[in-house]
């Protein structure tokens, strides 16, 4: 059986090897464009370059190559997919949706080499059992189940080789790919966001740091009847290997067919947790990948993967508090002012498109203030919002990139909303906002 047939593909380790993968991807895309162009011209069509690029074959090439590379290349795609939710072009959504679940694992020889470097050549003698095939494979590492000689059952997260060293070049290459595709406007300056993405991915690849964040969340949620956080196993943890207690659990997606009441309950807990992270803890796990939430047999929610945990800046807390309080009060003018002050909206857009913004705010307020629970499964209003937003998006003078520190928090909020939509959950958001919004402005004076 080949590596690919077994679901395993060696991770390209050196920068040169990874750059070569992007070069082959570019060549494959060009070849696909030529073939599709010839086909359409033969049918008497005059296709646009964008239509030739975004064919099913080319989309599959992009998704497969990024999944092969893993690391920052794949992680950046996942981040974009959860940041933008329903507001991405359909073609890009198709690519990135695959990256949320597709990852190859390391073949056994490469895994052996990585663990020998971290634990020593005779590392297997330290375990009663080590499951060679991973139980999960993601963008930065893969997870194995193991049992120590004294009976401790552990989840061992092993980082792919070379991903930490290739973060900067991977991010630059993905950004170039998206630019060339025409899916991101050339006029939009992405450099601040790309710089922060590189810094965030570097933090996520530091497993020592992640172990500290996992411990922090364990303390914050100690005694909470709704959540459980794994405990660090220091004996087997290094900067590239993270060992923790194995939590017997099942994917949160297993609740898709659960009774409505149960789905509502789970999402109420998760929405409440986001608000607690934002306003109470002052630190947030900003990666809302669905795989980071699992269901324990006793009904508790297991929280996994704290590599993306980071402090929430006071100015971000203040901005959200102001916006949410204005939304509860139904104050359109205050919402628009708060959106500009927080950085969600550029001042130019607010000045040039006041009517469109008024209509968008009215749509959001109408949904928020409907009687009863908010139905996350009913997303028809998002299409209306998107249509209104296209007026602003068409005006290049109004383009605006929010601060990176704001985008990472919004990434968690957007991803949580996507999970709630998948579950078709109904949650009384107003009750939760009134429960967790601080009575006074957070941090310094607004």
Q: Catalytic amino acids?
A: 287
Distance CA 72, CA 373 (A): 38
Distance CA 412, CA 285 (A): 8
Distance CA 440, CA 446 (A): 11
What are the structure tokens assigned to 145, written together? 């189940």
How long, in residues, is the chain?
Answer: 446
Distance CA 157, CA 236 (A): 10
Cα atoms in the Cβ-side hemisphere of radius 13 Å centred on 271: 27
Q: 249-251 and 293-296 as β-strands: parallel, antiparallel, unpaired? A: antiparallel
Contact 367, 374 (CB under 8 A): yes
What are the structure tokens assigned to 109, written together? 């020889």
Residue 367: alpha-carbon gap to chain centroid: 25
What are the structure tokens assigned to 126, written together? 């330290």
H-run or E-run covering 154: strand 153-159
What are the structure tokens assigned to 123, written together? 């590392």
Q: How many CB atoms lie within 10 A of CB 257?
A: 7
Distance CA 41, CA 333 (A): 52
Phi, psi (5° rounding) for residue 105? -105, 165
What are the structure tokens assigned to 16, written together? 């040169």
Residue 299: alpha-carbon gap to chain centroid: 25
Long-range contacts of 347-350 (CB under 8 A, 24+ apart): 348/397, 348/398, 348/400, 349/392, 349/395, 349/398, 349/400
Q: Largest alpha-carbon pair distance within the chain?
A: 72
Distance CA 70, CA 88 (A): 22
Distance in Å from the first CA to the final CA of the chain: 62
Q: Single out the residue of 392, 429, 159, 139 nearest to residue 287, CA to CA.
A: 139
3-state class percentages of the chain: helix first, strand second, coil last, to nearest 5:
60, 10, 30
């Amino acid at each position: 059986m080949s590596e690919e047939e077994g679901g395993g593909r060696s991770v390209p380790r050196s920068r040169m090897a990874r750059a070569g993968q992007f070069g082959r991807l570019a060549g494959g895309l060009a070849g696909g464009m030529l073939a599709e162009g010839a086909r359409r011209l033969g049918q008497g069509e005059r296709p646009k370059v964008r239509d030739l690029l975004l064919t099913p074959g080319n989309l599959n090439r992009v998704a497969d190559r990024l999944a092969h590379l893993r690391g920052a290349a794949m992680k950046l795609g996942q981040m974009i997919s959860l940041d933008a939710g329903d507001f991405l072009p359909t073609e890009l959504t198709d690519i990135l949706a695959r990256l949320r679940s597709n990852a190859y694992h390391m073949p056994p020889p490469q895994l052996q080499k990585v663990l020998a470097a971290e634990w020593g050549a005779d590392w297997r003698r330290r375990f009663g059992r080590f499951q060679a095939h991973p139980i999960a494979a993601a963008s930065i590492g893969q997870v194995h189940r193991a049992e120590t000689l004294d009976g401790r059952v552990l989840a061992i997260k092993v980082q792919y080789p070379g991903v930490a060293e290739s973060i900067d070049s991977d991010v630059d290459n993905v950004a170039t790919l998206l630019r060339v595709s025409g899916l991101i406007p050339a006029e939009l300056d992405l450099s601040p966001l790309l710089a922060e993405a590189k810094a965030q991915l570097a933090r996520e690849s530091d497993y020592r740091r992640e172990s500290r964040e996992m411990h922090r969340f364990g303390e914050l949620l100690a005694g909470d009847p709704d959540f459980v956080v794994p405990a660090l196993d220091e004996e087997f943890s290094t900067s590239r290997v993270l060992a923790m207690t194995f939590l017997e659990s099942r994917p949160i997606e297993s609740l898709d067919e659960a009774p409505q009441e149960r789905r509502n309950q789970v999402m109420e807990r998760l929405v409440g947790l986001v608000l607690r992270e934002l306003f109470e803890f002052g630190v947030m796990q900003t990666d809302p990948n669905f795989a980071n939430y699992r269901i324990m047999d006793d009904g508790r929610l297991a929280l996994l993967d704290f590599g993306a945990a980071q402090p929430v800046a006071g100015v971000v807390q203040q901005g959200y508090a102001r916006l949410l309080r204005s939304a509860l009060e139904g104050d359109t003018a205050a919402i628009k002012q708060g959106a500009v002050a927080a950085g969600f909206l550029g001042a130019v857009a607010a000045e040039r498109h006041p009517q469109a913004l008024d209509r968008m705010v009215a749509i959001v307020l109408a949904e928020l203030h409907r009687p009863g629970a908010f139905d996350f499964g009913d997303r028809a209003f998002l299409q209306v919002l998107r249509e209104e937003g296209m007026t602003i998006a068409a005006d290049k003078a109004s383009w605006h990139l929010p601060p990176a520190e704001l985008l990472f928090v919004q990434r968690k909020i957007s991803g949580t909303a996507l999970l709630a939509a998948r579950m078709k959950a109904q949650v009384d958001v107003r009750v939760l906002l009134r429960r967790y919004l601080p009575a006074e402005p957070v941090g310094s004076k607004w």
